């Protein structure tokens, strides 16, 4: 069963995907042709049709297959809803802008990860003997879900860079020192009994506490992003490496989609940092990363 709130693709879509799977078309087409050319086509052809119906009935009832098609349908829906995302050209430009804004070491880290994804898909193609895709990118890995993972990784790099600059400029030690001095002044003012000085110093203490709280939150976010970058990088590498040994593209697609759907906490952190990263509210819509050449501005 589909998780609550997840729209199912429907039986017609399940049947269509199962029938149009290239290996099914190859086997079914070959069997049907052989049946027609056989000495008893009136007997063999119904058997081929019965076998095809059994295959369609068995595959379309598998929860794992249904989940893969549901995820594919949702991904297509996100990309096809009118007005739900900027034009592809605009997204490609946004991708180029972010790459250009990154410092060389972070940009290189992203490009190395993308290159590894491309290399793993080329190897997966070679293992399967599939040479029809001239770009070397396996179709099941060239999905919106994997693009979302790479897009999230790239935006995390930009967030990490912005946080690093903020933390360096804010000087947490200086804020803590200032807060300590203000609290001493507050105690002296309260002992003196001058309400004007007490109000003024108290306001300064509150301001310093807010600054320190903001600094500590930024430091926590920086630590989280560092850990999340490592986790996401390893996860992307593992998923692309799995394409070499996985014989079921649908199963791999489900796992990629599951990881992409699990980025909610990461997306919230990125949104919280919009003020310092400059990423707009539409930045969660991923551009095509594996399917296009990247240009650095």
| Judgement on whether residues 198 and 152 belong to the same structural domain of the protein | yes
Residue 185 structural domain = 62-277
Give how many domains the chain has, as a whole number.
2
| Judgement on whether residues 89 and 43 belong to the same structural domain of the protein | no
| Judgement on whether residues 153 and 216 belong to the same structural domain of the protein | yes
pLDDT at residue 257, rounded to an integer: 63
**pTM, 2 dp:** 0.58
| Judgement on whether residues 270 and 176 belong to the same structural domain of the protein | yes
pLDDT digits (tens, 9 = 90+) for 190-219: 998 888 999 999 999 999 999 999 999 889
pLDDT digits (tens, 9 = 90+) for 132-175: 444 444 444 556 777 888 888 998 999 899 889 888 888 889 99
- DSSP letters, the chain, are -PPTTPPP--HHHHHHHHHH-HHHHHHHHHHHHHHHHSS-HHHHHHHHHHHHHHHHHHHHT-HHHHHHHHHHHHHHHHHHSTTSS--HHHHHHHHHHHHHHS-HHHHHHHHHHHHHHHHHHHHHHHHHT----TT---TTTSSHHHHHHHHHHHHHHHHHHHHHHHHHHH-HHHHHHHHHHHHHHHHHHHHHT-HHHHHHHHHHHHHHHHHHHHHHHHHHHHHHHHHHHHHHHHHHHHHHHHHHH-S-HHHHHHHHHHHHHTTHHHHHHHHHTHHHH---TTTTSPPPSSSS-----
- Residue 124 belongs to a domain: yes
């Amino acid at each position: 069963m589909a998780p609550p709130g997840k729209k199912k693709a429907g039986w017609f879509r399940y049947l269509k995907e199962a029938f149009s799977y290239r290996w099914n078309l190859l086997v079914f087409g070959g069997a049907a042709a052989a049946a027609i050319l056989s000495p008893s086509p009136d007997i063999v052809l119904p058997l081929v049709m019965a076998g095809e119906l059994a295959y369609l009935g068995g595959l379309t009832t598998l929860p794992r297959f249904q989940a893969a098609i549901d995820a594919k349908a949702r991904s297509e829906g996100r990309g096809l809803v009118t007005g739900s995302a900027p034009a592809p050209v605009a997204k490609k430009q946004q991708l180029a802008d972010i790459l250009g804004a990154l410092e060389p070491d972070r940009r290189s880290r992203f490009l190395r990860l993308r290159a590894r994804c491309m290399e793993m898909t080329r190897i997966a193609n070679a293992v399967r003997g599939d040479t029809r895709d001239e770009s070397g990118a396996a179709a099941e890995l060239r999905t919106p879900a994997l693009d979302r993972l790479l897009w999230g990784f790239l935006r995390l790099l930009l967030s990490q860079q912005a946080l690093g600059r903020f933390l360096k400029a804010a000087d947490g030690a200086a804020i803590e020192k200032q807060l300590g001095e203000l609290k001493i002044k507050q105690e002296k003012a309260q002992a003196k009994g001058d309400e004007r000085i007490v109000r003024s110093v108290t306001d300064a203490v509150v301001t310093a506490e807010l600054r320190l709280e903001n600094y500590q939150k930024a430091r926590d976010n920086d630590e989280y992003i560092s850990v999340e970058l490592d986790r996401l990088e390893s996860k992307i590498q593992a998923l692309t490496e799995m394409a070499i040994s996985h014989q079921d593209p649908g199963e791999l697609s489900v796992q990629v989609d599951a990881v992409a759907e699990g980025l909610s906490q990461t997306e919230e952190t990125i949104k919280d940092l919009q003020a310092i990263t400059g990423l707009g509210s539409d930045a969660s819509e991923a551009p095509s990363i594996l399917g296009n050449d990247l240009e650095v501005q």
